[in-house]
Amino acid sequence: MNRILRLLVLLSFVFADQTMAQDSASHTIDWGFSGAKLNGDQYVIRLQGKIASGWKYFSIAMPDSLPNSRVLLDSASSLKIAAIEEKGNMQSAKEPLFDNAPIKYFEKEIDLLVTLQGRIAKPVKGVIQFMAIKGDSVAGPEAVPFVVSFDPSGNLLVKSLTLQVSTEAAQQLKRSSIDLHHPINPCGGTGVEGHSKSLWNIFLLGFLGGLIALLTPCVFPMIPLTVSFFTKQSKERKRGIGNASLYGFFILLIYTLLSLPFYFLDSLNPEILNNISTNVWLNIFFFVVFIVFALSFFGLFEITVPGSLANAVDTKAGAGSWVGIFFMALTLALVSFSCTGPILGSLLAGSLSTNGGAVQLTCGMVGFGLALALPFALFALFPGWLHSLPKSGGWLNTVKVVLGFLEIALAVKFLSNADLVEHWGILKREVFLGIWILTGIFLVLYLFGKIRFSHDPPPARLGIGRIVVAIFFLAFTAYLVPGLFKTKYANRSLVSGFPPPLSYSLYGDELIKLCGLEANVRNDYQAALQLAKLQHKPVMIDFTGWACVNCRKMEENVWTSPIIKELISKHFVLVSLYVDDRKLLPDDRQFIFQTRDGYKKEIKTIGDQFATLQSENFINASQPLYVLLSPDEKLLSFPVGYTPDVKEYAAWLRCGLDAYEKTKN
């Protein structure tokens, strides 16, 4: 868990550093680029810099031992630099900051005429690497990349690869005609209503995770030992109950505090948690971690916190009053990590992969901590209940192994997230379900005693409970089987959100035509508007994500309802905009966008583009988000988020259609 936290914080600093670097370069020198072919294999490119007031740009004539500027080409390119000519008002002076060494510099502007020799078979990348000084402040070395190529007409092109602020491009994202506060019909909502339900669900999932953790060998035996300790150590029963209750409260507090660092991440940028949760390398990291957790549950090795840390905390537990009780709770959290860690990791990763981010994580941690804490308080209040607890034994080991199989299933989900956002095509829907089915088969064989691990106790007669659990997983595995085939039953609604979407299938778009609702347009907002004008229909924007669980639930459980499917397919132009699509935009469509909060954001991918379109116009960074617009971008109703109730969703769609009819009058 600590390593995961450190990784997430590191990622936030990386995002921040990129923005700071961009700001630094933009405040020092603005560069312009042009070029022409001379004769034969010779070309000249002009790099024209406008230097910010007060800054001194160091000349290329400066030696390597002192601050300098350079123009460099990719070492693998077919071009070589034949000559560089500096134009402008070069000055020379001694610089106290560098021990009065003589420096050569330019102010206000600088022109670099670079003569290139060779053939341009493909675009050639280069970089202006410069340093500048203003008083005691030194900028650089700053790197400004550019590329030299030919346009279709054969003209030489020199373009900057540094993203610039583009007013024209920004207008494509901040749509002035959309008035969020004054829709034509005031129905629907911004998705906040659904958010509270989602928080409640996350709390219940966390509570369920805590109950599962109670049944692990690391925690379960601690309940009677700890409660007996408090009731026997206290002279008065009332005091014993109070101490045990305080112990439970501290358990709840410790797990709740684990979510606090994520509020600082969320405050940097409203989309940062979504960016982190869909980060390819982080999802692969979670995949590896969950596989390691599974192997640990299978008994191959044990994951523990460092013994020195556990011992140091344990010594503090002997302190008097509430301080000692706190450290006893902390000791439990540390020594039980080998069992609770995988469950907490699932909760952490799941919260970051859904909407709400840090708030949801807190709700999940509160539920988890509460489930762990309640038994200590309740058994202290009713000590007679201790006699009704089952004795520790082989059943605890069975719980661990079952959790190991479940960890493998979760691990595949995170690998699938990485595959989806990068479109690798490794884990298509049928492959994903096939792995889950195999995992289920091995789990059932284990529960029926056909597979054993080295640390399993000697075989015994199967109990009723184990048989019931085995039958449950057998039925669940059988339920998944139709998902492997191209039939109308391929949509497995009970697990919607976990496998890839119907559109990400070995059968291509044929599966979504059989089972789901196909978008008229995908990832092209302007094309959707044009189509809506031609067909005289309103636009339904589906802000979604490849790794969005609730989006899949809506698509596979709500959109497949005959009422909803008919309403959307007949009366709307549906456009699905994927906010986590990592496909790069063409170079000429990448730019820097300044948000309404003044934050400078790089628009480099399809996902960047549509996440910004959503957050800027609808002040919402959660998915799914559904918006109804007229072809001229008049807001027909308030947007809605996750709405699993078919009747409620249908009423919202009809309200939008009624609003569209009003625009015709």
Q: Which residue has the tokens 């005031």?
A: 186
Model pLDDT, residue 436: 95
Between 311 and 259, name the one with better pLDDT. Answer: 259
Query: DSSP states of 170-238 as a string?
Result: HHHHS-TT--TT--SS--B--SHHHHHHHHHHHHHHHHHHHHHHHTSTTTTTHHHHHHHHHHHHSSSHH
Q: Is the CB of residue 513 less than 8 Å from the CB of residue 536? A: no
CA 595, CA 383: separation in Å to the nearest integer? 59
How many other C-beta atoms are found inside a 10 Å radius of the C-beta of residue 464? 7
Give the angle subtended at the CA of 643 by the CAs of 637 and 645, to the nearest 5°. Answer: 115
Model pLDDT, residue 95: 82
Closest CA to 598 of 13, 23, 27: 23
Cross-strand partners of 57: 106, 132
Class of domain 517-664: alpha beta
Compute the average pLDDT of residues 192-211: 66
Between 434 and 278, name the one with better pLDDT. Answer: 434
Between 62 and 441, name the one with better pLDDT. Answer: 441
pLDDT tens track for 580-603? 888 888 876 788 887 776 677 778
Cross-strand partners of 105: 58, 91
pLDDT confidence band for 19 (50 / 70 / 90): very low
Amino acid making up residue 556: E
CA distances from 267 to 239, 263, 274, 313, 346 (A): 42, 6, 13, 32, 23
Model pLDDT, residue 368: 82
- pLDDT over 50 at 641, yes or no: yes
Give the angle subtended at the CA of 554 by the CAs of 551 and 559, to the nearest 5°. Answer: 130
Compute the average pLDDT of residues 238-243: 68
- pLDDT over 90 at 654, yes or no: yes
Give the angle subtended at the CA of 304 by the CAs of 456 and 290, to the nearest 5°. Answer: 75
Helix (H, G, I), strand (E, B) or coil at 279: coil
Amino acid making up residue 599: Y
Tell me what the pLDDT averaged over the chain comes to. 78
- pLDDT over 80 at 24, yes or no: no
- pLDDT over 60 at 390, yes or no: no
Model pLDDT, residue 437: 96
CA 629, CA 659: separation in Å to the nearest integer? 9
pLDDT confidence band for 632 (50 / 70 / 90): very high
CATH architecture of 29-162: Sandwich (2.60)
pLDDT tens track for 341-367? 556 655 555 555 444 556 777 887 888
Q: Is the CB of residue 85 less than 8 Å from the CB of residue 152? A: no
pLDDT confidence band for 224 (50 / 70 / 90): low
Minimum mean pLDDT among 133-142, 168-177, 193-202, 620-629: which range?
193-202
The reported pTM is: 0.66
Query: Could you give phi then psi for residue 55, rounded to 5 degrees?
Result: -90, 145
Helix (H, G, I), strand (E, B) or coil at 594: strand
Model pLDDT, residue 192: 43
- pLDDT over 90 at 567, yes or no: yes
The residue ranges of every structural domain in the chain are 29-162, 215-390, 517-664
pLDDT tens track for 34-59? 888 888 788 888 888 888 888 889 88
Give the angle subtended at the CA of 36 by the CAs of 31 and 40, to the nearest 5°. Answer: 140
pLDDT confidence band for 539 (50 / 70 / 90): very high
pLDDT tens track for 106-164? 988 888 898 888 887 778 888 888 888 888 788 878 888 888 888 777 777 787 777 76
pLDDT tens track for 447-462? 888 888 766 666 667 7
Q: How far is CA 435 from the centre of its chain?
A: 24
Between 493 and 396, name the one with better pLDDT. Answer: 493
Model pLDDT, residue 545: 87
pLDDT confidence band for 659 (50 / 70 / 90): very high
CA 35, CA 54: separation in Å to the nearest integer? 29
pLDDT confidence band for 398 (50 / 70 / 90): confident
Q: 3-state SS string over 333-378?
A: HHHCHHHHHHHHHHHHHHHHCCCCCHHHHHHHHHHHHHHHHHHHHH
Model pLDDT, residue 635: 94
Q: Is the CB of residue 646 less than 8 Å from the CB of residue 563? A: yes
Q: 3-state SS string over 468-521?
A: HHHHHHHHHHHHHHHHHCCCCCCCCHHHCCCCCCCCCCCCCCHHHHHHCCCCCE
Minimum mean pLDDT among 17-31, 200-214, 220-234, 390-404: which range?
17-31
The DSSP symbol for 384 reads G
Model pLDDT, residue 438: 96
* Residue 332 burial (10 A CB sphere; 0-12, 13-18, 19+): buried
CA 35, CA 112: separation in Å to the nearest integer? 11
